[in-house]
A and B are shown apart, each in its own frame.
Chain A
Amino acid sequence: MMMETQRIPIVRLQGKLIVSIQTALSDTVVDRLQQDVATACERGDARGLVVDVSGVDILDSYITRSLRDLAVMARLMGVETVVCGLRPAVAMTLVEMGMELPGVRTALNLDRALSLLDSLQPVGSSGDLVLGDDDEEDGEA
C-alpha cells in the first residue's frame, strides 16, 4: 500500500523541464504531476517542457485529458510542451477510441523533443503566447 503518493520527478536539462513517466499512472499521480509542473513553470525560467511517455503502456480517456490539460496549462504559463515517445500500441488505441491531443506537439524521442523546443523558442524571447493558432476543438494532434 503506497502511503504517500508517488511523485514523478521533474528534471531540468538545458534550461528545459523534462518529465519522464516510468510508472503506472494513477489519477492522483497525474494530478500531483500537474501541480508540480505548474509550480516549476511558475519560476519563469523554463524554456520548454518535455513529457516523455515512452514508459506508459496504457492511456485511458482521463489520463489523456490530464496530459493534455497539463500541456495547455504549461503553455498558458509561457512554457511550450512536447510529448515524446508515445508507443505505437497506445497511439493506435487512442486513435481507435477517437481521442486526440489537440494542440499538443509530439516528437519521436527525447533528443528530438529538445531540438523541437529549441527551434520553437528563439533565444532571448519572453515566450509570448498566441492563443488559438492550432488549438481547434475537432482537432489535430
Chain B
Amino acid sequence: MEDGSQAAEIERLRARIAELEERLEERERSEAAARAETAALRAIMEHLPVGLAAADSSGKLIVTNREVERLLGDASSSETLDEMLGSYGVFEADKTTLVNPENVALGRALRGETVRGAEYFIRSQNVPEGGWYEAHAAPFAGADGDVQGAAVLFLSCGGRKFLEEEATAQNAALTAAEAEKLEIITRLRTAVEQLSTPILELWEDVLALPVIGIVDSRRSAEMMERLLHEIVQKQSRFVIIDLTGVEVIDTSTADHFMKLVKAVGLIGARCVLTGIRPAVAQTLVDLDVSFGQLETLRNLRHGLRYCLRWLDDEAV
C-alpha cells in the first residue's frame, strides 16, 4: 500500500533537517568564533598605546583606533586622510615645516610604499605641545596586486628624541668649553715660557738669561727676539747665558743657541756662557762648534765677575 513510500519520505526529510541543523550550528559556531576574534582584535587595537589607522584605496579611513583619535584630534568628523591632515599639524624633523599630505606615511603606503620608521612631530588639540612619533605603514594588495588600502601605525618616540637632542646640546657645550680651555692653555704656556727664560738685569750693562729645561725651535726664536730687543733697550754690553738648568741639549737646540750668540754679536753686545753641563759640553764639541771670542765660565757668579772686570778695565 502507500504507507511504505510515506515513511521513506519522512525519513529523508528528517535526515535533511538534521543535516541543516548541523550546518546551522556550525555556522553559528564560526560566527561566534569570528565575533570573538573581531572583539579580541578590537580590544588589542584600542588598548595598545599605539595609533592605528587604515584607509581604502581612495584614501577614505575605514579603521581608526582610540589612540589615533586622541593623537590626531577628533577624526570622526573628518573621514578622509586629507581632511584629517587639515585639522592637525604633522611636521618634519625641524618641528616647523608641515609635511606635505602626500608624503605622510599613510599616503606613501597608499601609493604602494612600505614605510618604516618615518619620524614626525605631531601637534593637535589633544596634544598641543606636540610629540615625536615614528610611523610604520604598509599597503595591502588584493589577489591581482592592486593596492586596495593601507594601514599605518604610530609609535611615540619622544623619549628617544629627547635623549638625542640632549646629547647634541651637550656635545656642543663640551666643544665650546674645550676651545676655551685650549685658548687658556696656550696663553698659560706662553706665559710660562716667558717666565722660565726671564731676562734679568744683573748690573748696569749686564743682562742674564738663565735657561731652564728644554728649548724648542719656537721658544728659541721667541727668546732670541726678546733678548735682542732687551739688549737694545737697555744698551747692555754683556749677556750672560746660564745653562746650569739645561741637562741635555740636542743638535738643533745647540744650533739655535749658536745663532743666538751670533746675533748678539752682530748687534754689538757680547755673550758669556756659564754653567755648561758635561753632556751639553759633549754635544757642543761633537758639533764642532767654534767658540771663537765666546767666553765660557763655570757659573753665573764667575760670569758676572768677568763682565764687571771687563767693564772696569774699559772705564779706565
Name A residues whose Cβ lies closer than 8 Å to a Cβ of B: 83-88, 91-92, 94-96, 100-101, 106-109, 112-113, 115, 119, 134, 136, 138-141
Question: Closest 9 A-B residue pairs measured CB to CB?
Answer: A88-B228, A140-B292, A108-B268, A106-B268, A91-B266, A141-B265, A107-B268, A91-B263, A95-B263
Nearest residue (CB) in A for B258 is A95
CA A115 – CA B268 in complex, angstroms? 13
Q: Is the CB of B232 within 8 A of A108?
A: yes
Known: A92-B224, A140-B290, A140-B293. A100 touches B268 (CB 8 A): no
Decide: B259 and A96 in contact? CB cutoff 8 A: yes
Write out the residue numbers on chain A whose beta carbons fall within 8 Å of the beta carbon of B262: 95, 100, 140-141
* Residue in B224, B265, B266 whose Cβ sees the most chain A Cβ within 10 Å: B266
- A sample of 20 cross-chain residue pairs with beta-carbon separation below 8 angstroms, ordered by A number, consists of A85-B268, A86-B267, A86-B268, A87-B267, A88-B232, A88-B267, A91-B228, A95-B262, A100-B266, A108-B231, A108-B232, A108-B267, A108-B268, A108-B269, A109-B235, A134-B292, A138-B290, A139-B292, A140-B293, A141-B266
Q: How far is the CA of A101 from the CA of B266 in the complex (A)?
A: 8
The distance in angstroms between the C-alpha atoms of A136 and B291, with both chains bound, is: 12
Contact B268 A109 (CB under 8 A): yes
A92 with B263: CB separation less than 8 A: yes
Determine which of B225, B232, B265 lies in contact with A92 in the assembled complex, contact meaning CB atoms within 8 Å. Answer: B225
- Complex contact B237–A106 (CB within 8 A): no
B229 beta carbon closer than 8 Å to chain A = yes
Residues of B within 8 A of A136 (CB): 290, 292
Beyond known contacts A88-B228, A100-B262, A115-B314: 15 more, CB 8 A cutoff: A83-B268, A86-B267, A86-B268, A88-B231, A91-B263, A91-B266, A95-B259, A95-B266, A106-B266, A106-B267, A108-B235, A108-B267, A109-B235, A109-B268, A138-B290
B265 near A88 with CB under 8 A, answer no
Q: How far is the CA of A110 from the CA of B262 in the complex (A)?
A: 20
Tell me, in angstroms, the Cα distance from A84 to B237 when the chains sit together: 13
Q: CA A97 – CA B267 in complex, angstroms? A: 16
Output the residue of B232, B262, B293 with the most chain A CB within 10 A.
Answer: B262
Q: Is the CB of B292 within 8 A of A91?
A: no
Q: B5-52: which residues lie under 8 A (CB-CB) from chain A?
A: none
User: Does B293 contact A134, Cβ atoms closer than 8 Å?
Assistant: yes
A136, B314: Cα distance in complex, Å: 26
Q: Within the complex, what minimum Cβ distance (angstroms) separates B307 from chain A?
A: 15
Complex: chain A residue closest to B227, CB-CB: A88
Give the Cβ gap from B6 to chain A, nearest Cβ, in Å. Answer: 136
Contact in complex: A140, B225 (CB < 8 Å): no
